[in-house]
């Protein structure tokens, strides 16, 4: 893959399903640290055109921007590893973390940009946005101009601003998916599951289709969303709002972690796991 701009070097940690498309959208030279990573991650990195420099220390020595894209429960530890390696460039945390967690991470770096990814992996233009806040946001955004990943700088935003937007957005999309799954499981436990589907088809067209989508598309990713629900709950609590719903949503997703990367999960399989 040929990058559109030379003279810039960006490190991406780690090229998972989303991170690999972020890396592919980034211009200039893009590095990753392959030591200890899985074979599947290596294939994604190769497909994205990344250069493997081995370890985080080698990456931080060569890159002027490092972007973190990982499950939220690992965001602080990954930031610590980059800071401990002596990185002096711009660190971008693009993870689904609370504003408070983003500010905690920001305290480790002199140059920090808060990021929030909204949308699926950026495989085509118009689907996925990278919201950015902080003094270096425009510089980071420039590396994605004209790519499949649309950068959006939040004017006047600081550390935590982009994360707050991500938390608000995901609290609805992922929170309501958990609620839908739990409602269907409760109805199934009481023996009225099919009757509920019939009523939804009459009075709430599209809900039963969303339930099927939750099983087929959400259940395989639920293992990554438990930590995100904790971050959303913390965001609500910090705002003085009840945090219990999203903590319960995290438990719903925890019960589905056995479907990790398993495509084609059925509604019946999902409900059985929730009720087990």
Domains of the chain (ranges, CATH numbers):
9-158 (3.40.50.720), 164-275 (1.10.1040.10)
Read off the pTM.
0.93
DSSP 8-state secondary structure symbol assigned to residue 50:
P
* Nearest alpha carbon to residue 44 among 2, 67, 13: 13
**Pairwise CA distance, residues 139 & 144, whole Å:** 10
Identify whether 14 is preceded by a cis peptide bond (ω within 30 of 0): yes
**Pairwise CA distance, residues 77 & 34, whole Å:** 17
**Pairwise CA distance, residues 239 & 65, whole Å:** 31
Taking CA atoms, 27 is separated from 3, 131, 251, 258, in Å, by 5, 17, 39, 37
Q: Which residues of the chain have pLDDT under 50?
A: 1-6
DSSP 8-state secondary structure symbol assigned to residue 110:
S
**Pairwise CA distance, residues 82 & 35, whole Å:** 14
Element containing residue 112 per DSSP (H, E):
strand 111-118
Report pLDDT for 7.
53
**Pairwise CA distance, residues 270 & 216, whole Å:** 9
Report pLDDT for 157.
84
Report pLDDT for 156.
83
Report pLDDT for 115.
98
**Pairwise CA distance, residues 18 & 66, whole Å:** 15
Report pLDDT for 261.
85
According to DSSP, the β-strands at 111-118 and 90-93 are parallel
């Amino acid at each position: 893959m040929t990058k559109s701009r030379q003279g810039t070097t960006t490190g991406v940690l780690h090229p998972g399903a989303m991170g690999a498309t972020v890396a592919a959208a980034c211009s200039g030279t893009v590095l990753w640290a392959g030591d200890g990573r899985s074979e599947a991650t290596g294939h994604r990195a190769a497909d994205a055109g990344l250069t493997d420099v081995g370890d985080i220390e080698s990456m931080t020595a060569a890159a002027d921007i490092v972007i973190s894209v990982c499950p939220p429960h690992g965001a602080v530890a990954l930031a610590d590893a980059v800071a401990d390696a002596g990185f002096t460039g711009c660190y971008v945390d693009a993870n689904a973390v609370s504003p408070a967690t983003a500010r905690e991470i920001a305290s480790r770096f002199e140059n920090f940009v808060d990021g929030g990814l909204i949308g699926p992996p950026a495989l085509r233009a118009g689907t996925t946005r990278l919201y950015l806040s902080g003094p270096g946001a425009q510089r980071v955004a420039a590396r994605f101009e004209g790519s499949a990943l649309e950068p959006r700088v939040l004017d006047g935003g600081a550390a935590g601003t982009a994360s707050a937007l991500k938390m608000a957005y995901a609290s609805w999309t992922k929170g309501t998916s958990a609620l839908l799954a739990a409602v269907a499981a409760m109805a199934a436990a009481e023996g009225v599951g099919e009757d509920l589907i019939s009523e939804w088809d009459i009075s709430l067209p599209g809900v039963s289709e969303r339930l099927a989508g939750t099983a087929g598309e959400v259940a395989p990713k639920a293992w990554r969303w438990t930590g995100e629900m904790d971050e959303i709950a913390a965001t609500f609590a910090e705002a003085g709002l009840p945090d219990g719903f999203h903590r319960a949503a995290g438990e719903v997703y925890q019960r589905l972690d056995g479907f990790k990367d398993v495509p084609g999960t059925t509604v019946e399989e999902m409900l059985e796991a929730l009720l087990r």
